[in-house]
């Protein structure tokens, strides 16, 4: 999982993967994934448009003892709007925070691209709970991972479109709208897209 951004233009660090309508794997149907790391060794990304339906951010922070029950009301005001995302099928109990680059923890924060960072330590949750975290953030449980060559094969097989990521879309509160907004952002009308369309 420790793959630094490659800096190679043939890799997709800092881009979106948008699932094609014919995506065979139901776990990724209508997914928008932010690629955090991509190299010859494989790829790792976070699904940014699928919520964990039975868990709110304040409840999670209380469960993890990051915040105290006495702070519950203030916590709901501070982070009640922040969704808990289903980041992917790998390590589904581990938390990953995608956030703006106004927050950094030495040795823990991975700077990805265009002002977006990834931190996977409890310290960032404590900072968010206390109101000292990044300006914008989303918490994801789990991540999407690909072995060497696997993502490239899936793109060639019309499983994914890739396009530059829009930071505003990563943090947008309307999760249901992200898929169509990502497609429209690359000039594709979702109604006109079929499972047989090639790569954009």
Tell me what pLDDT residue 83 has. 83
Nearby residues of 181 by Cβ (< 8 Å), 6 or more positions away: 169, 172
Regarding beta strands 90-100 and 42-47, do their DSSP bridges make them parallel or antiparallel, or are they unpaired? unpaired
Tell me what pLDDT residue 9 has. 59
Q: How far apart are CA 199 and CA 156, in angstroms?
A: 8
Q: How far apart are CA 14 and CA 117, in angstroms?
A: 10
Asked: is 15-192 a CATH 3.10.105.10 domain? The reply is: no
Q: Give the position of tokens 């995302």.
A: 85
The overall average pLDDT reported for the chain is 86
DSSP helix/strand/coil, 43: strand
The answer to whether the CB of 15 falls within 8 A of the CB of 35 is: yes
Task: Read off the pLDDT of residues 117-137 as tens digits, 9 standing for 90 and up.
Answer: 999 999 999 999 888 999 999
The answer to whether the CB of 96 falls within 8 A of the CB of 143 is: yes
Report pTM: 0.87
Tell me what pLDDT residue 197 has. 45
Q: Which band of pLDDT confidence, cut at 50, 70 and 90, is reported for residue 194?
A: low
Domain regions of the chain by residue span: 15-192
Read off the DSSP letter of residue 51.
B
């Amino acid at each position: 999982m420790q793959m630094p951004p490659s800096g190679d233009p043939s890799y997709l660090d800092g881009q979106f993967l948008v699932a094609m309508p014919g995506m065979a794997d139901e776990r990724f149907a209508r997914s928008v994934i932010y690629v955090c790391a991509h190299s010859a060794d494989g790829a790792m990304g976070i699904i940014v448009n699928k919520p964990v339906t039975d868990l709110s951010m304040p409840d999670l922070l209380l469960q993890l003892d990051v915040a105290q029950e006495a702070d519950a009301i203030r916590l709901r005001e501070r982070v009640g709007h922040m969704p808990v995302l289903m980041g992917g099928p790998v390590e589904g109990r581990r938390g990953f925070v995608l956030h703006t680059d106004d927050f950094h923890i030495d040795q823990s924060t991975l700077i990805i691209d265009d002002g977006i960072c990834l931190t996977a330590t409890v310290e960032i949750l404590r900072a968010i709970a206390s109101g000292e975290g990044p300006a914008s953030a989303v918490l994801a449980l789990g991540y999407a991972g690909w072995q060497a060559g696997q993502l490239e094969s899936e793109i060639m097989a019309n499983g994914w479109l890739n396009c530059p990521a829009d930071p505003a879309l990563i943090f947008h509160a309307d999760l249901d709208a992200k898929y169509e907004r990502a497609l429209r952002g690359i000039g594709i009308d979702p109604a006109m897209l079929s499972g047989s369309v090639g790569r954009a």
